[in-house]
Chains A and B, each alone.
Chain A
Amino acid sequence: MSNPTALLLQAAPDLTARLNALEAAAKSAQSAGDNAWMLLSAALVLMMTGPGLALFYGGLVRRKNVLSTMMHSFVMMGLITVIWAVVGYSLVFAEGNPFIGGLKYLFLNGVGKDPNADYAATIPQQTFMIYQLMFAVITPALISGAYAERIKFSAMTLFTTLWIFVVYFPMAHMVWGKGGLLNAYLGGSIATLDFAGGTVVHITSGVSALVCAIYLGKRHGFPNEPIKPHSLVLSVIGACMLWVGWFGFNAGSALAASGLATSAFVATHFAAATAALSWMLAEWLHSGKPSMLGGISGAVAGLVAITPASGFVKPMPALVIGLLAGLFCFWMVTAVKQKFGYDDTLDAFGVHGAGGTLGAILTGIFATSAVNDAPINGKVVPLGLVDGNAMQIVNQGIGILIAVGLAVVGTFIILKVCDALIGMRVDGDEEEQGLDLSQHGEEGYIPEA
């Protein structure tokens, strides 16, 4: 009896049982911590759509369109949820081919309290499912910034329903699903880095927004008649809620209450801060005054750009990413939009499309395994240019091209189909009257009531 373990076992015959119990208790404690953070994160991301985006966009339109614009965000909370529950989750996260998931989780079959170790080993799969749903809710809501003030409500819901199947589900599966083409962490062939949805959420929505803006044409009176935001106060409140909610979006994408979540939280906040400042500064130099609208636009641009990078970059590069995003998106919505003359009502393309693309490229530069050492094909590899992997920028480019291509082609075809079936745009009288009355039969502000 010289073996110490055996000696111990002899001394305490129930040691194995106690060790097993201890292990189970430790697991349960970790699961409790992670699950608490992920449920909170899911709620934060939902808050980004309603009321965050609803207020942000609602304040930017004219008062006769405030409710219809808020509705464009709010209705997603119902519509996308139902689609996701029935089939959407499965099409993104069930194993399928490199481009789209399978039907294993149809009707959320088998999605319960047990974790799905492929995605998040410490939280119930149902938590993962509801968290990912909130991303699917906000993405089509972002597009509404481009078609606000002139789209038929019926056409908008049909467009969104088709779009989520044709563009979002395939893109999300390619980047995040097991076996997805761009998901190197789970068997994909092209290692694209997108921590929280730069390609999946922002490039797809931003580019689709541009296609919508061009296809629908300009609003009546744009750009010669003054079309001013009716309440920047609402927009400021909404943008600040987006900023807070984005912690759930990015830090939550760590899928655990981990050090990586903290790192993503810090990067997210830092980029928002520098982007708000750089946009305001550009405006100050360019037109003489820094504006509140510029500040919140910059903050959102920074949050967009840091989204793909948030779980891969250190704090100082996060400051740089925000700085560049503020300047780049300012240039896109002031100079580029005016040069080409498209009416992207609330700059969904200028902020989300442009900021998302910039962020995806900068992720390829600044991503480092010092921040995120999750193994790819079983080993920790250098990630971005700062790790010495210049090829990553090419991979990011492939991810961007796929997202842009899918968004352009998919959105154009869907618009054609919806236009043929029910028509996309309200008629001139209805547009003049405002969508609140013409589409919903109500008004946001009733002075005499």
Chain B
Amino acid sequence: MTSALQRFLPLIVTTAVLVVGFLMCAAQFPNFASWRVVGNLLTDNAFLGITAIGMTFVILSGGIDLSVGAVIGFTTVLLAVLIEHGGWHPLAAFAVALIAAGGFGAAMGGVIHVFQMPPFIVTLAGMFIARGLGFVLTTDSVPINHPLYGELNDIALRFGAGGKLSLPAMLMLGVVVAAVVLAHWTRFGANLYALGGNRQSAELMGVPVGRTTVAVYALSGLLAGLAGIVFSLYTGAGYSLAATGVELDTITAVVIGGTQLTGGYGYVVGTFVGVLIQGLIQTYITFDGTLSSWWTKIAIGVLLFVFILLQKGLLTVWAGRGGEPAEA
């Protein structure tokens, strides 16, 4: 029964890093081990987590989506313009934003499948288009003052001493649960892993490659749109330069979470833990106060390197034994 252990090893290591990291922080700063910090960790990283879940699906299918950060930025601008300039009700604006983001992703998926272009470059173009559309709407940072925003931000489940599960955090946890179900207990999930494992085999097995490809990019776009809504709730404004570089943070979270970038192997839960590890590093540096912000980037870079080495090592061990290829 070592194979089950092997299969879950990346996930176990990632979780262990999070737990050990948290305990080390708690040992250094007594106030760290509080429900308030945990609640803030979830709230502050909610938009990143939601986006990273979508990215996990894309990467599992063997692709990549560089447009997510730009889609978040565009969504915040669209919401701000519709609500503040257009006088729309926020809920209607949310619906439009989700449809637009999902449709945008589906279009990219369609282009990738029909014209057989590398996902890397198609989503790069998508990133330019989404940022550009945001700029065209407005280059200003537009504050959103609708009363519903205040009400939504007041929704929170309180627990423990000072602990607070805000609406963004709840949304993220909901997305994680739904994503686990989608990845492991549905036909779509099975198709996804098959497609990422080996495209030709999947095609021969009868996996609807085109439909799955379009669906996975649509899902990534939709989740980026949801993350944009969360981001606009969190900041209370729409800005076309918002969330620059988020695509890289999410890819980093996916890698730290143990998903292989070649596709076909990985877990949604791992990505969630990867997001929390990044958030933990940020929180630690805030707590410390003397460390400068650039150490975040260096620490995440080092972590990325270590986890890639770990993956490589595991793969070599598996290959050496002649069993357990990259599958799930």
Instruction: State whether these chains interact.
Output: no
Q: Point out residues on B near A: beta carbons under 8 Å.
A: none
